[in-house]
Amino acid sequence: MKGKWRKVLIIMLVFSIMLLSACGGNSTDSGEEVSAEGNNVAAEGNSETAKAELGTRENPIPIGQKANIGSNWEITVLEIVPDAWSIIEAENMFNEPPQDGYQYVMANIQVSYVGEESGTPWVDLSIQYLGSDGNVYSQSAAVVPNAFIDIGEQFPGATAEGNISWAIPAAAVSGGRIMVEESFNFEDTRVFFEGVQ
């Protein structure tokens, strides 16, 4: 019997030592994690002081400056009209005014096909307005002069321009962004342009 109890005690002692070693290992790991988190905070601080990359939400492309969208398109926002209802109303008698608290924003956009085959801008590109409220607004159904949707198929070297409008809450217009990306590309081709300032 003594031999049996001795084995049990030895096994329990070994198990206790292993358990204590494991606890000691965890405290060392915790120390390393705290240190790593400290390094991450320092790195984040440095990245925040550096200016965001051009074309991001934080550093949008200025009006009048070109930017590539994927490998096939070059886009320039030429002009923005913050409250375009008078233009839209004059264009088509069936256009409806924006709902209460909203306004039409209209942008004149130049598009150039720089790919190797051909493309149709209104099919290949998604152009939306990111309000200062953080919500994304799709193009309105209003008929606008020289509509972007009327631009046809383009081949290499072709350039055209057209207007796009969005109905946006008035409070979310200022400080917004125009967000452009390829419609059928699984890679991130999103580029932000200045909206109404």
With a CB cutoff of 8 Å and minimum separation 6, the contacts of 153 are 118, 119, 120
pLDDT at 36: 35
pLDDT at 49: 44
- Summarised one tens digit per residue, pLDDT across range 150-175 is 999 999 999 999 999 999 999 999 99
In which band, very low, low, confident or very high, does the pLDDT at 12 lie, cut at 50, 70 and 90? low
User: In terms of domains, do 36 and 129 share one?
Assistant: no
- Summarised one tens digit per residue, pLDDT across range 19-66 is 444 444 443 343 333 333 344 434 444 555 468 899 999 999 999 999
User: In terms of domains, do 37 and 71 share one?
Assistant: no
- Summarised one tens digit per residue, pLDDT across range 62-120 is 999 999 999 999 999 999 999 999 999 999 999 999 999 999 999 999 999 999 999 99
pLDDT at 188: 84
Averaged pLDDT score across all residues of the chain: 84
136 falls within a domain: yes
Beta bridge partners of 106: 81, 165
143 falls within a domain: yes
User: In terms of domains, do 72 and 45 share one?
Assistant: no
User: In terms of domains, do 33 and 83 share one?
Assistant: no
User: In terms of domains, do 74 and 141 share one?
Assistant: yes
101 falls within a domain: yes
User: Phi/psi zone of residue 74: left (φ > 0), alpha (ψ -120 to 50 degrees), beta?
Assistant: beta
Say which residue the tokens 């149709």 belong to. Answer: 120
More confident site: 180 or 11: 180
DSSP class of 188: -
Which helix (H) or strand (E) segment holds residue 126: the answer is strand 125-130
The answer to whether 59 and 53 are in contact (CB under 8 A) is: yes
- Summarised one tens digit per residue, pLDDT across range 119-144 is 999 999 999 999 999 999 999 999 99
Q: How many domains does the chain have?
A: 2
User: In terms of domains, do 84 and 169 share one?
Assistant: yes
User: In terms of domains, do 42 and 129 share one?
Assistant: no
User: In terms of domains, do 141 and 117 share one?
Assistant: yes
Domain of residue 13 covers: 1-50
CATH of residue 89:
2.60.40.1240
User: In terms of domains, do 92 and 44 share one?
Assistant: no
C-alpha angle with apex 106: 105 to 110, nearest 5 degrees? 145
User: In terms of domains, do 82 and 34 share one?
Assistant: no
User: In terms of domains, do 77 and 38 share one?
Assistant: no
pLDDT at 187: 81
Q: What is the rounded distance in angstroms from the CA atom of residue 12 to the CA atom of residue 20?
A: 12
Q: What is the rounded distance in angstroms from the CA atom of residue 78 to the CA atom of residue 62?
A: 9
pTM for the whole structure? 0.73
